[in-house]
Structure 1
Amino acid sequence: MAHALLDDTLAIMANLVAFRSVSQDSNLELIAYINQRLDQIGARTTLTLDPDGTKANLFATLGPPDMDGGIVLSGHTDVVPIEGQDWTSDPFLADRRGDRIYGRGTCDMKGFLACALAFGPRFAAADLKRPIHMAFTYDEEVGCLGAQVMLDQLASVGRKPAVCIVGEPTDMQIIEGHKGCCEYTTSFTGAEGHASQPDLGVNAVEYAVRFVTRLLEIGEVLKTRAPAESRFDPPWSTIQVGRMAGGIARNVIAGACSVDWELRPVSAGDFAYARSQIEAYVETDLLPRMRRVSPEAGVITQIIGEVAGLEPMSNSEADALVRSLTGNRNPATCVSFGTEAGLFQQHGISTVICGPGSIAQAHKPDEYIELSQMDACLDMLDRLGGHLAG
């Protein structure tokens, strides 16, 4: 039997999907819509902006004011682009076909946001003994940038929730761990010249290739450092090169080149090891060789995002709470994809991932969510309201 709030939830989700909140664009109109709904039920809200003021996080609280130990329902508002994808319906129009709702962000993760917003009035009307918080963030898809700003602001004013449920699509299963995700662009500045005399220039592409070769060597070492009881797939930390671009012609010594790469560590130790090895190679090998020919040559690594992994914590408060709300008896698992969950954990907040929809549908054309998943999420939030009121 469908939950009583399902129709309201689907209407809210349709409104959320209609906002084209692709990461490269502003999410302010979407945040304004959410803020208006929460203002109507008396939620206490705080906005934090990106440096340009074109994107915002919204943190809302219902229940006892100025009380620590609350529960956070967290999700990101941005979605991935649709360019180059073959959709059979308008990606920004929620399209119901049977028991599925199609549209960009339906499962990742506006379905969860809609469930939380639909329950807002019930949370507001209940006699909550602990606060319920809702966190809506920007730029999760491009480095979890918004959540870091939001959490730093919460810490600066001394607010300390106890538990966080990140509603990424997990088929309503409990996820207790994932790798970190660290993304970088390393840019090489060389010295151009005629290709007939390559020794008189500094070939930025050549040094980028040396750099990539060293990354792959470090990646092989990381395989030997896999924890014996690792539950990740693959079990070790990984390095991956996604893009390399440089040079202007075959007969010109390349003056510039850039490499987009990532590190996904299973532990803080692997993160520190890989970064130290890479930095030492650049400082003691690449740069001296480049600058012997051209003192102006350089290597600069830009941090696109460094997102902490979610470390599995057996018998955590978050795990126990979500089990009691869902009746799930399956073992909590670990996944390869990244989320904002590790950032909450870094701030001392017990965190798990549990939300409606399947990650197998995320980022694809004709992304969809099953109505049964929405029902299951609404049931979980229903029990959460009773738990907080009890």
Structure 2
Amino acid sequence: MSSSRDLLAALVGFDTTSRESNLQLIEFVRDYLNRLDVPCELIFNDTRSKANLFATLGPDDRPGIVLSGHTDVVPVDGQPWTVAPFELSEKNGKLYGRGTADMKGYIACVLAAVPNLLAAPLRMPVHIALSYDEEVGCLGVRSLLAELQQRPHKPLMCIIGEPTELKPVLGHKGKLAMRCDVHGAACHSAYAPQGVNAIEYAAQLIGELGRIGAGLRSPELHDPRFDPPFSTVQTGVISGGKALNIVPADCRFDFEVRALPAQDPRKVAEQLAHYAEQDLLPRMRAVDAGSAIRFSELSAYPGLATDAHSEAAQLIAQFCGSDEFTTVAFGTEGGLFDAIGIATVVCGPGSMDQGHKPDEFVSIEQLDACDAMLERMALALRS
């Protein structure tokens, strides 16, 4: 049997930054499971450079539990690491390496639990689901979920092992990331009124976004389970202009909406598009008919709000030994599972306080606690 620590060392050794292929890691997991006589399905992307993995332990004729994790990690570029990011190292009870917390630590614990899950008959199946490109918009898992939707026995619930210090999480906000391209008309800055300044019109759009965001802070829209307790809007990237003496013809900015589960983030984009169409474009086109404002979606995923009284919530409370359910500020693939009728809880070792940072780590104590949680799950699922 391989320990979760040994498996984590192997997983961290694969550079699965989202811009890279994850196939070496997927093939490692497939070979590990095959040695235990667990068959795997691989669901590839269009170029076959990346893949999701899905495996089933126990009976396949009834709904079961999915243990889900993403294999990709964020870049280490420009971060002041003091240890090798793609080599597991230990210091003072902590295991360092990119992805140790987010979220290869959980995947390692799941893989280490397989022999124990196979040792006794299970009354319901346990599925292992590994995805790609979660960090760039929860992209890869969608093809896996499309496959699951077609099956006669869709899973009952899903446990996504994002780092929550093993506290059961039932909710997070949804996200919509958008791009806005503003096209005006260039001219010499000495004759500025003859042009259409794309930067200035983009600034008006960004100002309108701020006003829309302020409206979302209204107390009647709050959900006190979340921090902050309201939906948020922010502009994160902007570019435009060629030189100070040229009225800029083009400007681009990216913005995001992080919405409470009960709110639709696309309403913000619709409000902004209405403002552009009704207020800005008539003024722009009065100067130059070729002026335009275009919006495009970069990525999106739904929020999560699992009922605390659901079977999924009660099962995870049994496995974790805690029914102190909470929420998190970051997003997960959980809303996508929930959207196709698979009740989802987020619970995994480590803390997102360490995620995405240099010298990312998970404590050995947290890894051991996750092993214990999965042992309790195996015991509870025995027939």
**TM-score of the aligned structures, taking structure 1 as reference length:** 0.93
Letter in 2 for 1:43: V
Give the Cα–Cα distance (whole angstroms) in 1 for the partners of residues 48 and 201 of structure 2.
Answer: 38
Q: Which runs of 5+ in 1 are unaligned?
A: none
Counterparts in 2 of 1:327 and 1:267: CA distance versus 1, 3 Å: closer
**SS of residue in 1 equivalent to 2:234:** strand
Unaligned runs of 5+ residues in structure 2 are none
Deviation by residue 1:187-239 (Cα, 9 ceiling, x = unmatched): 22222221122232222211211110111010001111654553111111000
User: Residues 70-81 of structure 1 correspond to what in structure 2 (within 5 A)?
Assistant: 70-81=64-75
Aligned to 1:33: 28
Corresponding position: 1:23 with 2:18? yes
Mapped contact 2:65–2:127 kept (Cα < 8 A): yes
**Count of residue pairs the alignment pairs up:** 383
Contact kept? 2:176, 2:299, Cα under 8 Å: yes
Query: 2: CA distance between counterparts of 1:68 and 1:275?
Result: 41
Aligned amino acid, residue 131 of structure 1: P
- The answer (yes or no) to whether the contact 1:73–1:166 under 8 Å persists in 2 is yes
Quote how far apart the aligned CAs of 1:299 are. 2.2
Q: Secondary structure at the match of 1:278?
A: helix
Q: 2:4 is aligned with what amino acid?
A: T
* Distance in 2 (alpha carbons) for counterparts of 1:159 and 1:204: 53
- 1:354 corresponds in structure 2 to 347
SS of residue in 2 equivalent to 1:292: helix
| Equivalent pair of 1:71/1:163 in contact (CA under 8 Å) | yes
* Equivalent-residue separation in structure 2 for 1:287 and 1:47 (angstroms): 48
Equivalent residue for 1:241? Answer: 235
Query: Is residue 12 from structure 1 mapped to residue 7 from structure 2 by the alignment?
Result: yes
Aligned partner of 1:91 in structure 2 is 85
Distance 1:229 1:262, change over 3 A: closer
Give the aligned partner of residue 181 of structure 1.
175
Contact 1:43-1:124 within 8 A present in 2 as well: no
> Residues 300-379 of structure 1: matches in 2 within 5 Å?
300-329=294-323, 331-379=324-372
Give the structure 2 partner of residue 386 of structure 1.
379
RMSD over aligned Cα atoms: 1.8
Percent identity between the two aligned chains: 43
Whole-Å separation in 1 of the counterparts to 2:113 and 2:182: 51
SS in 2 for 1:121: helix
Specify the SS of the correspondent of 2:29. Answer: helix
2:163 and 2:263 mapped to 1: Cα distance? 29
Q: Would the alpha carbon gap of residues 328 and 240 (structure 1) be closer, same or farther in structure 2, given more than 3 Å must change?
A: same
Corresponding residue for 1:193?
A: 187
Structure 1 residue 49 displacement after superposition: 2.6
1:178, CA displacement in angstroms? 0.8
TM-score by length of 2: 0.95
Instruction: Report the AA paired with residue 326 of structure 1.
Output: C
- 1:142 match: 136
The answer to whether 1:258 aligns with 2:252 is yes
2:125 aligned partner = 131
Sort the Cα spacing of 1:42 and 1:298 in 2 relative to 1 into closer, same or farther, 3 A. farther
Counterpart in the other structure of 1:104: 98
Q: 1:114: how far off?
A: 0.4
The structural deviation recorded for 1:36 is 1.6
The amino acid that maps onto 1:50 is N
1:148–1:201 distance in 2 versus 1, CA, 3 Å: same
Residue range with higher mean Cα deviation, 120-129 or 134-143: 120-129
Give the Cα–Cα distance (whole angstroms) in 1 for the partners of residues 322 and 113 of structure 2.
Answer: 21
Task: Give, as a single letter, the amino acid of the residue that structure 1 aligns with 2:241.
Answer: G
Say which SS state the counterpart of residue 265 (structure 2) adopts.
helix
